[in-house]
Structure 1
């Protein structure tokens, strides 16, 4: 069974088509939140995927995909792919991306504060959407699903493309001329696999409007964060020298030394190792302690209870 990791912003409508496909196929999908400018600035990420591209997917077998339709195809089933009608499924998927989503984004994104409002472009988008829905309504007047007699990736993709429209700006009076589209949309929205990803879908009651103040506030925050990142690059925090590593431990190699150390450690505690160029490491012992630590090393002088002994650690063990 297919399994892997999908990198996507939370609740991103374009990623839904892949997530829903995984629900139908039973593929195991690990969702990782994609943060623009952070996730795609990591070298390990850029070695596999283009920058500023979402969603992207990495399968557990190493397969890397950065096109959402390819990801959905990879995660889906033969039924979702259309069996012998794959060409028809591909046709509807491309229609959603090229004829539906651009117009929906032009109208809805400004209402969500994502992009700036342009009246001329919005009016043009409304005209295009009306044309699309008229065509869809005629097609769906004769059929239940877009390809064949079962739900396919064509239905999933067109549904996700229309979701923002029907949720945020298309009121009941706007939907009324397209009863077959509404019936079909409701059918797809209530599929258990769709509900697990998208959640309950509700139709728009009152159309959202562009809010210039909201847009300005939102983009001030984005600009402020961007400026902070630039400032950090110009004035990086000072680098401190790395801390010196403590000497590594190794195993005792002389039986006599091992026995002497065992006796010594019953009453003395190794407090620290001090390095001197002439003597190597010096082990400092504190008397009248029953605790002890065993530091592996080759002792180069005879053990005494005078307070310290010299030890040598070979370079190969450092």
Structure 2
């Protein structure tokens, strides 16, 4: 089978890991070319296809279709194979709930987590105690919402793995490594079991590996 296309990205990008996991679930192949962030994405050839210079960036195998924005790429991959109805929902209400959680994953959980990541793990922006506290508080609030939704359940929507679970798994498994520490996990006791269950699925484990739980958050006092 010919590849669906290629994704340009830097290493260990959870947005791309989500797309690759969805590709594996759908029996699709996606290429990851060699890519140097800050160099290749500023080249004329890259900008001719992706004018904003953002990654991840998807290009179809025949070169006629391009996409940026991780959520859009992941959804396209989910919708391009035989498990699209399961992953994206078979009726309007299910599709809407899946979309609700996919949006929550990026617009609430990840959006709150990322400032703390940029100040500590990535060291891209200067550490600011007030902003760090705001980031961790927002992350914990979003984590509690997820905790409520998965209590007594294996998946966040329905009885099967969906796009929503994969979208949540990306930022959640990253956050547990550096921010969602033992103290924060006490306020969301169902999330660990939810993540462990997802990572028992071979296609997800192949991309995200084992669950790593930090005892104390990076940058915390």
Q: Quick check: TM above 0.5?
A: yes
1:199 — aligned with what?
Answer: 209
CA distance in 2: counterparts of 1:140 and 1:191, whole angstroms: 17
Rounded Cα–Cα distance in structure 2 between residues aligned with 1:95 and 1:33: 31
- Provide TM-score, normalisation by structure 2: 0.87
2: CA distance, partners of 1:207 / 1:138: 22
Structure 1 residue 9: Cα displacement: 0.5
Taking the aligned partners of 2:47 and 2:5, their CA distance within structure 1 comes to: 18
Deviation at 1:101, TM superposition (A): 0.9
Partner Cα separation in structure 2 for residue 173 and residue 10 of structure 1? 30
Higher-strand-fraction structure: 1
Aligned residues: 210
* Other-structure match for 1:279: none
For 2:50 and 2:174, locate their aligned partners in 1 and report how far apart those are by CA, in whole Å. 27
Residue number among 89, 93, 100 corresponding to 1:91 in the alignment: 100
Task: Report if aligned partners of 1:50, 1:66 keep a CA contact under 8 Å in 2.
Answer: no
Which ranges in structure 2 are unaligned for 5 or more consecutive residues? none
Return the match for 1:80 from 87, 105, 113: 87
> Which residue does the alignment assign to 2:36?
35
Instruction: Tell me if 1:125 matches 2:155.
Output: no
| Contact 1:90 1:154 survives alignment (8 Å) | yes
CA contact (8 A) 1:8 1:34 kept: yes
Residue 111 (str. 1) matches residue 129 (str. 2): no
Shift in Å, 1:93? 1.1
Is the contact between residue 4 and residue 58 of structure 1 (CA under 8 Å) also seen in structure 2?
Answer: yes
Deviations 1:149-203 (A, max 9, x none): 1111111111112222111122223212212111111111232111211222211
Describe the superposition over 1:77-112 as per-residue Cα deviations: whole angstroms up to 9, x where unpaired: 311112222221111111111111121111222221
1:239-278 equivalent positions in 2, closer than 5 A: none
Aligned to 2:198: 188
**Residues 162-311 of structure 1 mapped to structure 2, 5 A cutoff:** 162-209=172-219
2:14 paired residue number: 13
- Structure richer in helix, relative to its length: 2
Query: 2:49 matched to 1:55?
Result: no
Distance 2:98 2:134 in 1: 27
Which residue matches 2:168?
Answer: 158
Deviation of 1:142 (Å) = 4.3
Equivalent of 2:158, from 145, 148, 163? Answer: 148
Larger Rg: 1
TM-score, normalised on structure 1?
0.62
| Preserved contact between residue 17 and residue 153 of structure 1 (Cα < 8 Å) | no
Q: What is the RMSD of the two structures over their aligned residues, measured on CA atoms?
A: 1.8
Q: Is the 8 A contact 2:49 2:66 kept in 1?
A: yes
Instruction: Give the conservation status (yes or no) of the 8 Å contact 1:20–1:194.
Output: yes
Instruction: Report runs of 4+ in structure 1 exceeding 6 Å deviation.
Output: none
Unaligned 5+ segments in structure 1 are 211-318
Following superposition, the deviation at residue 114 of structure 1 comes to: 2.9
